[in-house]
Structures are given as structure tokens and as C-alpha cells.
Amino acid sequence: MTTPEDTDAFIASLAARPTPEPLDLPRAAGWIGGAFAVGLGAVLGALGIRPDLGAALQDPVTLAKNALPLLLACLALPIAFLTTRPERDGPVWPLIVPVALAAGLFLLQAVNTAPTNFLPELMGQTAGACLISITAISALPLVVGIRTLRQGATTRPIRSGALLGLAIGALAAAGYALHCDEDAPLFYVTWYGIGILISTGIGALAGHKYLRW
């Protein structure tokens, strides 16, 4: 039976342990970035980059297909890193900005699309390939990212894993956009969004399993 003295001794032993070293952020970002480059290179090596990419990016709506998920990734990854310190927890409200912009593009096209064209624009021609590709690009950096976050000391493992998955899924979507020629916001907000959510969910599950103390 545990006595109060045993409990006090246990607490004292925990307090006497040295504080874990902070996560080396540049090193962590480098490992994740390298894993992302491998995954993206494999997918683009198989699918190729769209031949008219330079011209397509002159259209702001098409540019947003690349820029918004990239912005989301750049916002989410530092917050995920912050959660590895028990005394720190970054705010998530900045993530609303790219999400709101994407929702605005979706709604703008939705109200200007004839009912007969809505479903074809939404479904496009490559929804399945889109989801598979984003998930494939995300796989290796998610594994590396979870192993990296294990070096920290998160007290909210599901949140940390979800933020990591969100960042990597968004980065994967931005990378896949270099190949994708489906430029309708109805399509890319929907299917890129689902791909990012899949990565977020996998990250949350992995965080629950592997980031707990």
C-alpha cells in the first residue's frame, strides 16, 4: 500500500530530475523537411510536374491552390513544436486565416457555378489520385516528425500529433499542387482539405500512441 511518505518521495524524485533539453527546432525542421523532399520527389517523379505550371500560377485562384496550404503548414509546424514544451503551448487561432481564405474561395465559386455544373466541378477528374498522393507524400515525414516530437515533453500528445499531421498534410497538398491541374476551388478546397484532414487524424492517433509520457 502506498503511504503519503512514498508519494512525497516519488514527487521529490521527479522534481530532482533535470529538465529535458528543448527540442532542437532547426534540426527537427531539417529532418522533417528532408523526409518531405523524399516523399514529394517520389510522387512527382511518378506523376510529373504540370507542364504549364508557370503560366497557371499567374492566376491568383490557381496560385492560392499552392500558397494557402503552404501558409497553413508554415503556421501549424511551429505551433506543433511549441507543444513539446510543457510550459508553452502556441495559439492555434492563426490557423483560421488560411482556412477562412480557402472557404471564401470555395463559397465564391459555389455561388457563381450553375447547379448543373456544381457536382462536376466539385468532383473533378482526379479526386482519388489527389487523396492517395497527399497521403503518400505525408507518410514518411509523419513518421520522422513523430519520432522527432518524442524528443520533447508534450503534455497534450493528441494535440501535438494532430498539429504535426496538419502541417505535414498541408505541406503535402502544396507539393502535390505542383502536379495537379484541377484549378477549381470547389475541387481543391474539398479534396486537398480532406487529404489534410486524413493526415491530421493520423497524426493525432500517432500522437496518442507514441507521444505519451
pLDDT average, residue stretch 20-32: 79
Residue range 152-168: mean pLDDT, rounded? 92
Whether this prediction's pTM lies above 0.75 is answered by: yes
CA angle 35, 151, 21 (to 5 degrees): 130
Residue pLDDT, tens place only, 119-156? 999 999 999 999 999 999 999 999 999 999 988 878 88
Average pLDDT for the chain:
90
pLDDT of residue 91: 85
What value does the mean pLDDT take over residues 63-92?
90
Cα dihedral value 93, 88, 199, 204, nearest 10: -120
Domain ranges across the chain: 23-210
**pLDDT number for residue 28:** 86
Listed residue (182, 180, 79, 99) closest to 133, CA to CA: 180
Q: By CB neighbour count within 10 A (0-12 exposed, 13-18 middle, 19+ buried), where does 90 fall?
A: middle
Give the angle subtended at the CA of 126 by the CAs of 125 and 131, to the nearest 5°.
150
Enter the C-alpha cell of residue 150.
518524442
Q: CA 29 to CA 77: how far, in whole Å?
A: 9
pLDDT at position 14 over 50: no
Q: How many residues does the chain have?
A: 213
